[in-house]
Amino acid sequence: MSTQNYHIVAVPPNEWGHMRPMIAFLARLVAVSLSSVDVTVTLIIAESAVAKARTELSIQLAGEGIQSAESRFEVVPTAVHMFWPAESYLPALKATYAEVIKTKEPDFALLESMIHPFFGVVRSSATKPVKVGAWLPVALPSWTSMAPICYIRDDPQAYVKQVQTTMAEKGLGYMEAASDAYLSHVNGRVLRIPGFPEMTDYEGFPQEALERQGLQVFSTWLKEQPKHSDILAVGPLTSQRTPEVARKEKEEADAGGFTTFLDEWAAKKGPKSVLYICFGSVLLPAEIEHLYAVMRVLLELQIPFIMVLSDAARAALPAD
95-126 pLDDT per residue, tens: 999 999 999 999 999 998 888 889 999 999 99
**Of the given ranges (1-10, 41-50, 257-266, 306-315), which has the lowest mean pLDDT?**
306-315
In this prediction, residue 218 has a pLDDT band, given cuts at 50, 70 and 90, of: low
- Give CATH superfamily name and number for 4-135: HUPs (3.40.50.620)
In this prediction, residue 152 has a pLDDT band, given cuts at 50, 70 and 90, of: low
Nearest in space to 145 (alpha carbons), one of 89, 90, 203, 106: 203
Round to whole Å and give the CA distance between 115 and 313. 23
**Of the given ranges (1-15, 16-30, 86-100, 206-220), which has the lowest mean pLDDT?**
206-220
> Which residues pair with residue 5 across a beta bridge?
38
For every residue of 273-308, DSSP letters joined together read -SEEEE-TTT---S-HHHHHHHHHHHHHTT--EEEE
Round to whole Å and give the CA distance between 45 and 11. 6
Q: Residue 115's pLDDT is what?
A: 87
**Of the given ranges (84-93, 149-158, 256-265), which has the lowest mean pLDDT?**
149-158
CB count within 10 Å of CB 49 equals 21
| Residue extent(s) of CATH 3.40.50.620 domains in the chain | 4-135
In this prediction, residue 145 has a pLDDT band, given cuts at 50, 70 and 90, of: very low
Q: Residue 207's pLDDT is what?
A: 52
In this prediction, residue 263 has a pLDDT band, given cuts at 50, 70 and 90, of: confident
Res. 301: pLDDT tops 70: yes
Mean pLDDT across the chain: 80
Res. 197: pLDDT tops 90: no
* DSSP-derived secondary structure letter, 3: P
Higher pLDDT, 94 or 306: 94
Higher pLDDT, 258 or 39: 39
Burial of 172 (0-12, 13-18, 19+ CB in 10 A): middle
* DSSP-derived secondary structure letter, 140: H
Res. 40: pLDDT tops 70: yes
Decide the pairing of beta strands 275-278 and 305-308.
Answer: parallel
Res. 144: pLDDT tops 50: no
Q: Residue 42's pLDDT is what?
A: 96
* DSSP-derived secondary structure letter, 73: E
Q: What would the mean pLDDT of 75-100 be, rounded to a whole number? A: 91
Q: Residue 178's pLDDT is what?
A: 79
Q: Which of 51-55, 70-74, 92-96, 137-141 has the highest mean pLDDT?
A: 92-96
CB count within 10 Å of CB 149 equals 19
Residues 14 and 80: beta-carbon distance below 8 Å? no
Res. 313: pLDDT tops 80: no
Residues contacting 281, CB < 8 A, separation 6+: 14, 15, 16, 17, 310
Burial of 93 (0-12, 13-18, 19+ CB in 10 A): buried
Q: Residue 251's pLDDT is what?
A: 80
Nearest in space to 72 (alpha carbons), one of 112, 104, 111: 104
Round to whole Å and give the CA distance between 168 and 306. 44
In this prediction, residue 205 has a pLDDT band, given cuts at 50, 70 and 90, of: low
**In sequence order, what E strands does 82-185 have?**
108-112, 131-135
Higher pLDDT, 226 or 263: 263
Round to whole Å and give the CA distance between 76 and 95. 12
Q: Residue 208's pLDDT is what?
A: 54
For residues 231-249, one letter each, b for 16 or more C-beta atoms within 10 angstroms of the residue's C-beta and e for the rest, the string is eeeeeebebeeeeebeeee
In this prediction, residue 141 has a pLDDT band, given cuts at 50, 70 and 90, of: very low
Higher pLDDT, 185 or 44: 44
